[in-house]
């Protein structure tokens, strides 16, 4: 969003600013900057437009002044050890948003009560204030199924992760008992989907483009035998299985009991042996 006071007449120096950013709280919320909503630090104050030492007068989310019925991110700051700012473009604060429901966020800078101040405490006219349009879309769904080598039933508990193009985690879920899953992600994005389960190599599907309401990427089968979680099946994994061969009482998530039947036996050893020498994520 931007605020300007360009206009006829001599340049006016700015030493302080108070900003009210309106939004519809039913559609979006402000992500608390320091994860402590009680301390009155909701948005991230930045050096950019002001580059000296800053004194923060207020930094909170509250009801906008009447007659508006929206909520406002309200913050005020002044610069103390530098002169007034002339003819500069820069960032004053960063607001991070979280979607709550589909619809338009209704963003806008309220003028007034938003104000700029010169060194004498006099108001500086705001000639223009604008805010970007944020529209929260109905989430898209990535669906599919995860099977596990050596297991014919009880396929729940595999972890599914949707990653952005840059590798950030967007969302995670786990499979149901039949191996099915559904990942809720923003529409219009491209994602990498990974499937993991203890004792198995990770499977990955790249370039999943979610443009409609639902994208089915089909089924994958996780390959077993990666006991130490390094995404390889080698002698170290075989030794770990052999060290407990014939013993029972394993929990379902113990990687040494690959097929989750409660006992480490020839079936677990065979699954690992079938993948011996494999490394890296497997393709979906």
Domain CATH for 279? 2.60.40.4130
Neighbours of 201 (CB within 10 A): 25
Q: What is the reported pLDDT for 125?
A: 86
Q: What is the rounded average pLDDT of the residues 152-172? A: 93
Q: Which of 244, 246, 266 is nearest to 255 (CA)?
A: 244
Q: Are residues 33 and 97 in the same domain?
A: yes
- Mean per-residue pLDDT of the chain: 91
Q: What is the reported pLDDT for 17?
A: 95
Q: Do 54 and 109 form a contact (C-beta atoms < 8 A)?
A: no
Q: What is the reported pLDDT for 1?
A: 55
Q: Are residues 148 and 220 in the same domain?
A: yes
- 85-144 per-position pLDDT tens digit: 888 888 899 998 888 888 899 999 999 999 999 999 999 888 888 888 888 777 789 999
Q: Do 145 and 178 form a contact (C-beta atoms < 8 A)?
A: yes
Classified as helix, coil or strand, 263 is: strand
CA atoms within 13 A on the CB side of 76: 8
Q: Are residues 29 and 46 in the same domain?
A: yes
Q: Are residues 21 and 132 in the same domain?
A: yes
Give the range among 2-11, 199-208, 229-238, 261-270 with minimum mean pLDDT. Answer: 2-11
Which of 59-94 are b and which e, b meaning 16 or more Cβ less than 10 Å from the residue's Cβ?
bebeebeeeeebbbbbbbbbbeeeebbeeeeeebbe
Q: What is the reported pLDDT for 4?
A: 57
Q: Are residues 178 and 210 in the same domain?
A: yes
Of 98, 116, 136, the residue at which a domain comes to its end is 136
**Which structural domain range is residue 42 located in?**
2-136
Q: Are residues 199 and 96 in the same domain?
A: no
- 55-74 per-position pLDDT tens digit: 999 999 999 999 989 999 99
Q: What is the rounded average pLDDT of the residues 31-47? A: 79
- As for how many domains the chain has, the answer is 2
Q: How confident is the model at residue 5 (pLDDT cuts 50, 70, 90)?
A: low
Neighbours of 113 (CB within 10 A): 12
Place of tokens 């879309």: 137
Of 95, 113, 136, the residue at which a domain comes to its end is 136
Return the percentage of the chain with pLDDT > 90, whole number: 68
């Amino acid at each position: 969003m931007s605020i300007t006071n360009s206009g006829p007449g001599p340049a006016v120096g700015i030493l302080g600013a108070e900003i009210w950013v309106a939004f519809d709280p039913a559609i979006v919320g402000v992500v608390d900057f320091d994860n402590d909503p009680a301390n009155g630090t909701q948005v991230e104050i930045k050096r950019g437009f002001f580059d000296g030492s800053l004194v923060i007068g207020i930094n909170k989310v509250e009801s906008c002044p009447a007659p508006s019925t929206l909520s406002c991110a309200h913050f005020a700051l002044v610069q103390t050890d530098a002169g007034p700012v002339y003819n500069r473009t820069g960032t004053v604060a960063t607001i991070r948003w979280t979607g709550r429901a589909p619809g338009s966020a209704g963003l806008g800078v309220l003028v007034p009560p938003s104000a700029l101040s010169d060194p004498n405490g006099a108001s500086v006219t705001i000639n223009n204030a604008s805010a970007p349009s944020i529209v929260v879309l109905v989430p898209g769904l990535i669906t599919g199924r995860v099977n596990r080598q050596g297991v014919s039933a009880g396929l729940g508990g595999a972890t599914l992760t949707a990653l952005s193009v840059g590798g950030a985690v967007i969302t995670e879920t786990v499979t149901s008992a039949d191996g099915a899953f559904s990942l809720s992600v923003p529409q219009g994005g491209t994602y990498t989907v990974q499937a993991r389960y203890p004792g198995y190599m990770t499977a990955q599907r790249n370039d999943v483009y979610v443009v409609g309401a639902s994208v089915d990427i089909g089924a994958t089968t996780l390959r077993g035998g990666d006991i130490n979680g390094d995404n390889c099946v080698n002698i170290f994994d075989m030794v770990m299985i052999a060290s407990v061969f014939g013993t029972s009482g394993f929990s379902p998530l113990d990687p040494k009991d690959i097929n989750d039947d409660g006992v480490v036996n020839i079936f677990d050893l065979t699954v690992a042996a079938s993948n011996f020498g494999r490394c890296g994520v497997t393709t979906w």
